[in-house]
Amino acid sequence: MKLLKSICRGVLIGVANIIPGVSGGTMAVSMGIYDKIIYAVTHIKSDFKKSMEILIPILIGALLGLVGLSFVIKWLFSNYPMQTNLLFIGLIIGSLPIITKNLHGTTIKIREGIVFLIFFGIVVLMPILGSSGGSSVVLHMNPVMMIQMFFVGVIAAATMVIPGVSGSMVLLILGFYQPVLNTITEFTVSLSKMDTAGIMRGMYILIPMGIGILIGIVVIAKVIEFLFENYTAITYCGIIGLIVGSPIAILFEAKFTDFSVTTIITSVIALIVGCVIAYFLGGDESKEA
């Protein structure tokens, strides 16, 4: 049961990373495993066995969510945008009690409030920047593009680790979101058809990006661990600001056209379901430790 829940958590994190406005880090917080992931990444050498026990099920789930469910998620957002967006907003809202309990007994000062507002503003402004961003980048198979994809991976890693910051939104602003998503989709299709040329093209783009993501996750995780250890209240207030701003960013990015009674009722149900899932996957995490 514990293994299955960890894989399910990984699936949600993987899915979140391909949706503009939704943060994989926020999903990790909503399920009460954010601190565990940071610990596992930063102590992978000193506590290898425990780190692998934490990371492997989550990585398996994330891979399933990122690759296996990318088609499903695109279909859901195309056909049921309001319900799907409200489901993810429910997951985020359900995470707030989990993260705010870390501040119980802490005196919130003006500096913590300022940090909250700054990070809240960053998330709210991000989709505005995205909507006015440049056109998509054309991906070519050459050494310069490989170097570019490495640094894109590092940036993507930072946004995966930091709650509230949508990696896909940042890629959208940079012009890499649609090309990378198309590459993942085409690579998956090429694998299923054993198309060697398509597989090689996908690997040429995705491997440098994957290396950048791995290196970026380790570096950013160490920075966040340092902040947790030395600036606990400020760090949590910044994270809460990012999380509180996420639903606004999601709604700004969403394209709603159907406001029928049925759609509104099912969307409210999706919101509640999201909150329940967040509670189920994160509420009893302390009992599993």
3-state SS string for the chain? CHHHHHHHHHHHHHHHCCCCCCCHHHHHHHCCCHHHHHHHHHCCCCCHHHHHHHHHHHHHHHHHHHHHCHHHHHHHHHHCHHHHHHHHHHHHHHHHHHHHHHHCCCCCCHHHHHHHHHHHHHHHHHHHHHHCCCCCCCCCCCHHHHHHHHHHHHHHHHHHHCCCCCHHHHHHHHCCHHHHHHHHHHHHHHHHHCCHHHHHHHHHHHHHHHHHHHHHHHHHHHHHHHHHHHCHHHHHHHHHHHHHHHHHHHHHHCCCCCCCHHHHHHHHHHHHHHHHHHHHHHCCHHHHC
| Contact (CB, 8 A) for 127 and 21 | yes
How far from the centroid of its chain's Cα atoms is residue 86's Cα?
16
| Contact (CB, 8 A) for 190 and 269 | no
* 289 residues of the chain, pLDDT tens digit each: 677 778 888 887 877 776 655 667 777 776 777 788 888 888 888 888 888 888 898 888 888 877 766 677 777 777 888 888 888 788 777 767 766 776 777 777 888 889 899 988 877 876 666 554 445 577 777 888 888 889 888 887 777 677 666 666 677 666 777 788 788 878 888 888 888 888 888 888 889 988 998 888 888 888 888 887 888 888 888 878 877 887 887 777 666 777 889 999 999 999 998 888 776 665 544 444 4
| Contact (CB, 8 A) for 58 and 9 | yes
The confidence score (pLDDT) of residue 286 equals: 41
Q: Which among 236, 213, 267 is positioned nearest to 88, based on CA atoms?
A: 267
The confidence score (pLDDT) of residue 285 equals: 46
The confidence score (pLDDT) of residue 282 equals: 57
Question: Any idea which residue has 């705010």 for tokens?
Answer: 100
Q: Could you give the CA distance from residue 155 to residue 150 in angstroms, rounded to a whole number?
A: 9
The confidence score (pLDDT) of residue 97 equals: 73
Q: Kindly report the length of the chain.
A: 289
| Contact (CB, 8 A) for 155 and 38 | no
| Contact (CB, 8 A) for 56 and 49 | no
Q: Could you give the CA distance from residue 118 to residue 121 in angstroms, rounded to a whole number?
A: 5
Neighbour-count burial for 108-136, b at 16+ CB within 10 Å, e otherwise: eeeebeebbeebbebbbebbeebeebeeb
Q: CB neighbours of 258 closer than 8 A, spacing ≥ 6?
A: 82
